[in-house]
Chains A and B, each alone.
Chain A
Amino acid sequence: MFVAIFRYLLGSVRFQVWGNFPERFLNLCAHRGLPIWGVNRSGGQFTACTRASAYRKLRPCAKKAGVRLRVTRRRGLPFLLRRYRWRWGLVMGILCFITLLALLGNFVWTIEVQGNITVDRQVILDHLAELVRPGSYRPALDARDIERQMMLRVDKLSWIAVNLRGSAAHIQIKERVLPPPIIDSNTPANVVAAADGQIMQMEVYSGQPLIKKGDTVLKGDIIVSGMVEEKDGDVQLVHARAKVMAQVIRQLKAEVPYHQTRYNYRSLVRRYALGSFGLELPLWVGRPPGPPYKLEKFARQPNISGLGLPIQLITRQYFLLEKANVTFTPAMALVEAQRQLAAMEKTHLAGLEVLSSTVTVDEGDTALVLTASYYVLEDIAQTVEILTK
């Protein structure tokens, strides 16, 4: 294999030998150190191969041995280059290719992030963007400095390694397990009501309770005081802490107009583009669709053997809409309002225990209003610092 490559690079010539003493010709060539291989005899003729540069040196040997030579095949890189020697475009293309390859090899093309579990990859990339991003000049980057900067910028990192290998930046991270928040027990503070309500249950951990179970409070009332009076009359300032479960009224309102303007889905149009180093090359001709539409954009990065390529296929989905006027009957508006109210309950009353609820329907001239009042049990304790200075 190696010999074949070597012969291809140097070029080889297959030639015919005929005459009186072909064996003598072979001996003469061998004694003069001229390489001969692949000697084959068919009929009265020999065929053999030699190096392209050695063929001219065979002539004296042939003359001495009384044989004649004729080239039957030329093969190898020198002949190929000779054939294309006037094709300057090809030469320039090869030179440009080599130059570009050498030049582009100095830039970071892709960034791979590994080891993140809770920290979003995009968050890391956003912080990295000011230090290293696709298109950064690699010799100007200091991996250790990037690591230090990232440790300062992202709290949740316990360790980071930046490996610049070729055109790829491999970022390996370990996330930090955050300690629980420290309860400040030194600053004097009161526990006040965060909302109006009736206290149903109270657990005082520190401080002087001013209100007992069953009392009603207004927002801002002190429930547990941080000023504790000692038996000898002295007042000690403490950080009051308590859990105060109170029955609180919450109201939610859903309003559905009888005449509404809605946008109905009409059709879907996709537009593709190629993105690289922050630039986009549209893969379509013409204008984007006219409004109204809902636009969704997402990018996909192709990869080879897990290594992302520095290009992105960007897809824009235009959900084309058409404007329509919709008229609701009171019954239809009620159903719609109930649906909206159920959705609001899931977001506004999540995690709260609902004790009771009342719903009132108000059919107005232009809209139906559904008002719901809930008695919920929630912790209304709010710590407020006592200003002593």
Chain B
Amino acid sequence: MRIELSSNREAVIEGCKGVLEYTPERVRLSCGSKIVRFMGDALELRCVTDSTAVVTGRILMVEFQT
């Protein structure tokens, strides 16, 4: 898994296996053995493919869950 953040406006997540939850305030992504949670405002999934997801918006917090 690889996460690339551009300030707090965009996050590119490589190795993403699927979207578990998506609301404008919260995005949860499955990345193999880990779950990544993005908290923020006006979050948007700009691109979703089988291995990559791009989350844009105002990201306030990134949280890892095992």
Q: Residues on A close to B: CB < 8 A?
A: 22-23, 26-27, 29-33, 35-42, 46, 48
Contacts and interface: CB of A to CB of B under 8 A. Distances in A.
Contacts of A32: 50
Contacts of A29: 48
B45 interface: yes
B24 A39 contact: no
Chief secondary structure at chain B's binding surface: strand
B36 interface: no
A38 B45 CA distance: 6
Size class of the B contact interface (CB-based, 8 Å): 10 to 19
B22 A23 contact: yes
Interface in B34-57: 44-50
A36 B16 CA distance: 14
B47 A37 contact: yes
Contacts, number: 47
Interface in B2-39: 18-24
Contact of B47 (A27, A31, A36, A41): A36
B46 A38 contact: yes
A36 B48 CA distance: 6
Nearest to B21: A23
A33 B19 contact: no
Contacts of B45: 26, 36, 39-40, 48
Contact of B48 (A39, A40, A41): A39
Contact of A39 (B20, B22, B50): B22
Contacts of A33: 49-50
Contact of B44 (A35, A36, A40): A40
B49 A26 contact: no
A40 B23 CA distance: 8
